[in-house]
Structure 1
Amino acid sequence: MAEDTNITLTAEEPALGNIQVAPQVLEIIAGIAANDVDGVARMRGSLANSVNELFGRKERGKGVKLSLTDDDLRVDVYVYLDYGVSVPKVALAIQEQVKQQLLFMTDLHLSEVNVHVEGVIPEKTTQAVDPNNLFDDDDESEDGDIK
């Protein structure tokens, strides 16, 4: 998680005051942007995130780490991808999506968007056993004789 200091947005036009954004907001924006890319199965989460989701609280900033040093803003995104997708293409799409969304929503320029592929999630397979006919064997005829 990012530091507890807010990030001040600068405007070119005269404004009525300062605009400050909490780092958690930027992490949420980056997390939603990365999750919307085709090929991303899910984001990496911690045990606390999993417990919160069990109680119905969706943690949108999970899998994103924001670091701000001087005026250098970096985002690290930790993802699990769907099996069969092109890892470089999806990673580049994540970088572009996160960069565009943060620029569009906050007018902040990122120096780096680092994508960390934590794993690949295979597709769910359908169950080969019919639950209604657990003991029906295709090798036997209706009268019990083996074919």
Structure 2
Amino acid sequence: METNTLAVDYERTEMGSIQIAPEVIEVIAGLATVEVSGVAGMSGGFAGGIAELLGRKNLSKGVKVDVGQREAAVDVSIIVEYGNRIPEIASEIQRNVKRSIEMMTGLTVVEVNVHIHDVHFKTGEKPEEEETLLRVK
């Protein structure tokens, strides 16, 4: 799915037109994604750390949108925290992204695809198999 790089005329009013740039949708989707408990970060972006949430580039990293006149499709690529149920996290991301975009823009979100790219381990937290391998060496 490629990102639409031009803002399309979303709505015409008596005063003129309203345009929502795809980058705006990406930032909304990124924020809605990292709000979900169990998400460590966006794929290729940050892994935890509130300071990294502040930059606009980081908020849209790992997000691709396809925006039409009235509809949007979103792909998010995430890193999950070890120990969480991936299907539950993915479902919550889908609900949160859809709700946020529709509430803020009025666009209809037709799909939210969640791609899990990695698992983040907290410091000192390793799966048992890895610990066994480390002891053998």
Shorter-chain TM-score range: 0.7 to 0.9
More helix by share: 2
Structure number with larger C-alpha Rg:
1
Among the aligned pairs, what percent are the same residue? 36
Query: Structure 2: 5+ residue runs without aligned partners?
Result: 46-51, 126-137
The alpha carbon displacement at 1:33 in A equals 0.6
The alpha carbon displacement at 1:71 in A equals 5.5
Question: Aligned residues, how many?
Answer: 116
After TM superposition, the score normalised by the length of structure 2 is 0.75
What is the DSSP-based 3-state SS (H/G/I as helix, E as strand, rest coil) of the residue aligned with 2:96? helix
Q: Distance in 1 between matches of 2:110 and 2:76?
A: 14
Q: Deviation digits for residues 54-112 of structure 1, max 9, x if unmatched?
A: xx955211010112467652100000000000100000000000000001100111111
Residue correspondence of structure 1 range 86-105 to structure 2 within 5 A? 86-105=85-104
Over 3 Å counting, the alpha-carbon distance change for 1:107 and 1:70 in structure 2 is: closer
In structure 2, the residue matched to 1:110 is 109
Mapped pair 1:123 → 2:122: yes
The alpha carbon displacement at 1:15 in A equals 4.3
Moved more, 100-109 or 37-46: 37-46
Moved more, 26-35 or 15-24: 15-24
Code of the residue aligned with 2:37 in structure 1: it is: D
1:9–1:106: 8 Å Cα contact kept in structure 2?
Answer: no
After TM superposition, the score normalised by the length of structure 1 is 0.70
Code of the residue aligned with 2:11 in structure 1: it is: T
Code of the residue aligned with 1:3 in structure 2: it is: N
What is the DSSP-based 3-state SS (H/G/I as helix, E as strand, rest coil) of the residue aligned with 2:5? coil
